[in-house]
Structure 1
Amino acid sequence: MDKHVKVSFLGASNVVTGSKFLIETSEKNIMIDCGMFQGLKELRELNWEDLPVDVSGIDVVLLTHGHLDHVGYLPRLVKQGFNGKIIGTEPTLAIAEIILNDSAKIHEEEAKKANDEKYTKHNPALPFYTVAEAEKTIRMFEVEMPGKWITLSEHISYRFQYNGHILGATFIELDINSKRFVFSGDIGRTDDYLLEDPKRPEWADFLFIESTYGNKLHPEEDVDQILADIIVETLHKNGNLVIPSFAVERLQTLMFILWKLYQKNKIPNIPIFVDSPMGNNVLEVFRRFPKWHKLSESDYNAMCNHVTIIESYKDTWKTIDDKRSKIIIAGSGMVTGGRVLTYLDHLIEDASTTVLLVGYQAEGTRGRQLFDGAYEIKFSGKYHPVKATIKHLDSLSAHADQNELLHWMSDIKNIPEKVYLIHGEPAALDAFRVKIKDTYHWNVCIPKISDVEDINI
């Protein structure tokens, strides 16, 4: 085998989203993740550009997990000529299928609405990809088990390893000519409500590690008490609590916590509405794969029965018209789209409303604007004054913080030749770089989008 390996950083480099890393060798060309950029406009615009590589020459895509910023670019990759296998764990591919189908429908609906209401600069506005393109991509999915080495070619093999974060998530160990490349994907928390602790790598010659919270420690918050206080305050104001939520994991975690709070008599029986078609589908994935999470069948059924799951857009409007104080959990988690915008259209200008942000809010998203104290936000072509109370819970994040990231690396027995910090904003990346150098004395670098690394193995 030619001992030359070329790594192209096509996303999630000096930014959090758009995860795409291409490893080119003389035997196989492998892409790790294939996600969409989210957040800042200049990043979102990158989604519309073809990748600066020979897409038809990529043999396989390995997915760490099913989030949009790790799988959402797949239909565009196929459109550009990719015709290989897309491989992940069974829950990852089940979630990716839900996310791609849901995203395609949203892309089509938003393009149609923009054209009908004429609030687009494009003539016509086009969907990023269609349902048909998503379905073509899904037919290329292939399941592999975690914990098992899979041979790709004579000198290349890979293994998925359980990583917490969301259902099905893994880190990827890729052995190329006896050198180990480790891609962390997104690393989960220890002592998670629903998931087991992440496994940890024991060897890494080249380590590619996420750094979303590389400069932060999650606060030691009493989540139960904070949520209970917010709910009681909402009832006193005769208002509504709106929780924008990621459909995968966060929504199910919130359902579980709220059910437990009621069970412990910490909150009254306030109506709870879950309005996320994608989230409802992910609930079914939890039911299908009980070995991937900690919920018992009875707990799963009880938490589902404790909430009202919205099935149709008609029921969304019934919920808005419902005059009772209530909790509304709706996608999307960074307020970038989805059903939550329908609720905010009617409730964000009401001082009795509380909006609770749970988890990371990327730069350029409406969630970040609200987190930063914006007095107005724009969606559906108009500005909305923010009169609602905005609150934030950081400890429900599904990402490891700085200490947990260092702990995840602590079982590596060798000294990596190089550590690449990915999936982070500049401040987080630089702080984590310094921390790793001070803690482990490893060689650390921070690649940027479009950087190419030539590695001799």
Structure 2
Amino acid sequence: MKIKFLGGAGTVTGSKYLITHNNQRILVDCGLYQGVKKLRLRNWKPFPVDPKTINAVVLTHAHIDHSGYVPALRKKGFKGPVYCTQGTYDLCKILLPDSGFLQEEDARYANKKKFSRHNPAMPLYTEKDAIESLKLFKPVHYHKTIEVAHHIQATFTPVGHILGSSAVQITAGGKTITFSGDVGRSEDLVMRSPEPLQSTDYLVVESTYGNRTHDETDPFEFFKEVINKTMERGGIVLFPSFAVGRAQTILYIIQLLKERNEIPDVPVFLNSPMAISATETYCRHHKEHRLTKEECSKIDKGTHFVRTPEESIELNKRKYPSIIISASGMASGGRVLHHLKTLLPNHRNSVVFVGFQAPGTRGDAMVNGAQQVKIHGAYHPVRAEVCNLDSLSAHGDYNEIIGWLDQSEIAPKRVFVTHGEPAASDNMRLKLEEKFGWTVDVPDPSDEFEL
């Protein structure tokens, strides 16, 4: 059995791991590169192996940096099954078509405004491509071992993070390798704690927060202070938010603050079709997370869902105090860009980022004090108050992940640290070596190892 790191190595995005055994090929995760242009351009490069030779894809969860390349892989000739949990499948039914739609929309806008170097600008794949790719999906139950290719098996274990998230253990030729996926947190407000792993020969573990611990800021106090201060100024609070997981947590906190009369009863708008559908999906899967059916209903009733482009345009004209939640979480695309262009120049407004901001993204620039940001080919001044709350991240930090691995009581022969910036991954390597005495590698892109 061999593993080759086709993505997610040296960066926090584009996760793709190729397992080869007896001429069978399994791709664990199939993510899009997101963030800075240098990374995004990798999405357009020829795939490192012929997609027609891949027997199956196995997904740890639905976030686009883990699932978003599936439609492109299908376009290039992949025809095998895509295995994942039911929650992941239900979210992919939302995220993948939305990803295709946004790519088409961005291409149309670039062609209209003529700010793209490509003439015409083209999407990597379309909404229709994404819908077609969903026909390949085969949802499976947690803890049930299934055969994903000849003599290759997979088992899914819940790890928090978002709905449907799992660690995936691959078994072939008497050996086991476990992929952590993105690991959640034991004290997450919405998702349940990650379950301990089963014994494994090899381990691939994420390191998004491999060199940092989350701050201890109380999110309720933080939200209360920012919202009240902005309302007193007569401004609007904008939350650039990831549509899946983060948006639901933000809505939950705001709803509780309103119930306690700790913030004014101002309108709350969720302006992201994808986040709206994801919120509805979380409500349907209420048995898989901490929120009760009643709590989900309160979030649903207390939020104005902005579904159409026309409603979004009208919302962008709003001058009165309100709260807007809109994707994407790093301000890398989507409807939030139009809100930023309108709200950033006004000092009365606040822009609140929640969670990790990848280097090179607009979110990273604003959090680090940028005086202006480039959106749709033009620069816009940053006069609004910009805040960042790290304590709500859906990723475990290195202490939390090490605690989870310690609880798992595993002793892998070799560990591979991925899905992190170079400094974060290397720090995670050191921490794992010091704590457990394991043999730990930080692979580079395209590195291959025989197991």
The TM-score with structure 1 as length reference comes to: 0.96
Does residue 356 in structure 1 map to residue 352 in structure 2? yes
Partner of 1:390: 386
SS at match of 1:269: coil
Does residue 449 in structure 1 map to residue 445 in structure 2? yes
Does residue 322 in structure 1 map to residue 327 in structure 2? no
- Cα deviation per residue 1:256-298 (whole Å; 9 max; x = unaligned)? 1110111112112122111110001112211322221222221
* 1:414 shift after superposition: 4.5
* 1:407 shift after superposition: 1.1
SS at match of 1:214: coil
CA distance in 2, matches of 1:46, 1:59: 23
Is the CA contact 1:205–1:417 (under 8 Å) kept in the aligned structure 2?
yes
Deviating more after overlay: 405-414 vs 48-57:
405-414
- Cα deviation per residue 1:363-413 (whole Å; 9 max; x = unaligned)? 121111111211111111111111111100001100001111101211344
Partner of 1:332: 328
* 1:154 shift after superposition: 5.9
Is the CA contact 2:24–2:149 (under 8 Å) kept in the aligned structure 1?
yes
Matches within 5 A, 1:17-56: 17-26=13-22, 28-56=24-52
Matches within 5 A, 1:37-116: 37-116=33-112
Does residue 280 in structure 1 map to residue 276 in structure 2? yes
The TM-score with structure 2 as length reference comes to: 0.98
Matches within 5 A, 1:225-374: 225-374=221-370
SS at match of 2:314: helix
* 1:427 shift after superposition: 1.1
Is the CA contact 2:56–2:148 (under 8 Å) kept in the aligned structure 1?
no
SS at match of 1:30: strand
- Identity between Structure 1 and Structure 2 (%): 39
CA distance in 1, matches of 2:381, 2:189: 35
Change beyond 3 A, Cα 1:410–1:319: same
Partner of 2:435: 439
Is the CA contact 1:115–1:125 (under 8 Å) kept in the aligned structure 2?
yes
Question: Could you tell me which amino acid in structure 1 is paired with residue 432 of structure 2?
Answer: I
SS at match of 1:453: strand
Structure 2 unaligned blocks of 5 or more? none
* 1:178 shift after superposition: 2.2
* 1:27 shift after superposition: 5.5
Question: Could you tell me which amino acid in structure 1 is paired with residue 350 of structure 2?
Answer: T
SS at match of 1:47: helix
Please point out which of 140, 143, 146 is paired with 2:139.
143
CA distance in 2, matches of 1:24, 1:154: 11
Change beyond 3 A, Cα 1:409–1:55: same
* 1:236 shift after superposition: 1.5
SS at match of 2:393: coil
Question: Could you tell me which amino acid in structure 2 is paired with residue 114 of structure 1?
Answer: A
* 1:430 shift after superposition: 1.2
Runs (4 or more) in structure 1 with deviation over 3 Å come to 152-155, 411-414
Partner of 2:423: 427
Is the CA contact 1:50–1:80 (under 8 Å) kept in the aligned structure 2?
no
CA distance in 1, matches of 2:331, 2:228: 24
- Cα deviation per residue 1:216-247 (whole Å; 9 max; x = unaligned)? 11111111111101111101211111110000
Does residue 181 in structure 1 map to residue 209 in structure 2? no
Partner of 1:194: 190
Is the CA contact 2:145–2:154 (under 8 Å) kept in the aligned structure 1?
yes
CA distance in 1, matches of 2:385, 2:4: 43
RMSD: 1.2
SS at match of 1:139: helix
CA distance in 1, matches of 2:287, 2:312: 33
